[in-house]
Structure 1
Amino acid sequence: MRRPGPRGQKQLKKSFGSSSVQALLEVTSVVRGQRDLASALATIVKTVAEALEFKTVVLNLYRPEFDDFCVTDVHGSKEARDALLGSTYEWGAWRHLLTEQFRRGGAYLIPHGSFDWSEDIGTRYVPKLEPSDDPDAWHPEDELFVPLEDSEGQMLAIFSVGEPRSRRRPNDAELEVLCALAAHAAIAIETAQQSERTARHRASLEQLLEVSSTLTAAQSTQAILETVCRGIHTALGFHKVSIELLDGDTGLLRSRASSGWAPGDPAVLRAIPFDPMRALFDPEFAVSGCYLVPGDTAHERIGPEHVKYSSQRNGRGPRAWSHHWLLVPLYDRNGEEMGFIWADDPEDRLIPTAERLQALRVFANQATTALYAAEQFEQLRFLADHDPLTNLLNRRSFVQHLDAEVARSRRYDRPLALVVFDLDELKSVNDTQGHAAGDEVIKRVADALRATIRSGDNAFRIGGDEFAVLLAEADEQEAAAAAQRIADELQLAASFGVAVCASESEAGALLREADDAMYRMKRQRRAARFGDDLSAVV
């Protein structure tokens, strides 16, 4: 739609007087004032009605998420507002009306009797007026529409005006004024919409920045993943977010954190192979470092058996979200794909803009950096508490656990047992087969412990060939049975000691009691092997 220049503005003054010029100034002030969209629309409708003297002015705002028009503002009688406000009209219905047959410059005038309104066009308001015999008089069933387009020629809205106070159909000069006002109104609407988009984008970036600042403070991988999901959900407006990471042992993708799904939802519980999903990482669908794939194409590429979820917040039309797949690849330090962020169900039901996807990609990069740092921290913390050869808890951790469990046992008068053992022949293995063979023996012991202890119990390597197991809620008989299970699984010569926590026991005393029992067994085993002449070594 052409915007009026200086010459056009002079013509407007001649053709429609000072009120029209005042209306143009009012609409222009809306543009310059950058009012919010709702205020801008209300001002525009009121200005058109008062300046051009139409009793009824209706604004049908285009909704790209549904490819339709919704009546957002009505200036007119209560009957008109009640009948039209909130009504929606398919774009296809308007195409029957905005034709060359009815075009009058930039407007479309549909005289009474020239269109069959019995078709399903949508809600229509016809004022109760007495028709006139004058051929130039306004008939109550006349319709006058003016489309409003943005600077790129995309539809913004459609004015519907009626009931001119002159009771006559507008002439060409009056329609020119109406179209000029519509052109300025289009600028105002586009400016207000752009301002709202800019404000939302700025707010999103600020929220992402705030979330990003907390990532480095998170000390666990899981905390970072959950923070990232919440950040994408709240800042970028996706109702469903999942971080799918590759399980190196199985080759399957598993959801490590999510937002918007219930914990037991199959979409987050079900693991799927990574290889089929790689078919979506096609440059054809790359936008700002993300991959946005139409739903049908995604299903064809990965197969229906790998579809875990179908979008619920879909729209209609060329700019609407319609079962799309939005994936943001995550890469490890070697540049290999380790999974992706999966975002779905956008709040606005629209395909994300390139700026929004760029923000998502940058946030994913920051999250990946934070994950690397968290992994290093977790590795250091793991090494501080675990034996590097067996991955069992180490002596430092054993002392902490022993103190805590003894204190709990005494406070709540609950049973607690401690089993310690060492290998009788590890030195011989090291001397005859080498330390590498000795290390393999140690690893076998760790495997045996993991295979036999209960899920709530803890196993420790507390010395070179010495191990311990803390058995909460276990008495002496249960502890002896546990020691026997370990011995059976080991299939190695080992000496065991068992101690049970008494009401007044201290952690150190419990350990000494278990050690004493182990060394008694060791002496007994040596006595049985070498006879009674052991006084020099006992």
Structure 2
Amino acid sequence: MKDALTPEQWQALFETLPDPVLVTGEDLEILAANPAARSLLSDSAHQLTPGHPMLQAAQSGSTWEWRDAGGELRPFEVTTRPLPGGLRALLLRDTSDQARLREELAAQTLKDPLTGLLSLRGLIVALEPQVSRSRRYDSPLSAVALRLDGIAEEPALLAISRLLRDKLRWADLVARIEEDTFIAVLPETRLGDARRLIEKLHAELGVCCSELALRVQFGVVEWSRADSAQTLVRRATDAASPQAAAS
């Protein structure tokens, strides 16, 4: 297809592109920036030095994070394209929506992809019928949180998840709800029985975690009529927090 655009039309196209675009020389000196780039960089695009994080991201092909006026970090994918005369175009694409979509999809997943245990959402879905049953029949229900202190590598997380599966009953709900936090929900279990279970788990996990240079902090709570599935889980994790341990 024959190029029918005039230089003025190419310039107009450059100026109206919705994504930020910059043109640099071989030494990363900024030679031109479209309005979207000038708006993003507060009209300081021409003052950027080669050590600027955005230009470093362009060299490494990585993501550059920019904090907007509201304080929210927005990730930008930075790619480069060669231009005639040794110039380069820097193309910035806001990937905030993609990152947000990935987070939403992860939140909707019922299983933790690493351990195969329930995720937080999966735990809440499975726990709500248990809470309804406890409310209807006044049956006991307890929750135990295990929070790891230290760098938990993948083998450690897998070892702990296997131990919890092996030591808990088939009716108990076991979940990994955060990077370093596990929850076990124990139907038909009073607070005293849950604490005795913690003593047994502490001995087992003490051996496992000491070998992995980890410490484990427990929190245990019993369901009350004021609790929903969400508040029961939140109270258990709060009870396992460092602040609770220090008090």
Q: TM-score, normalised by structure 2?
A: 0.50
Of structures 1 and 2, the one with the larger relative CO (CA 8 A, separation 6+) is 2
More strand by share: 2
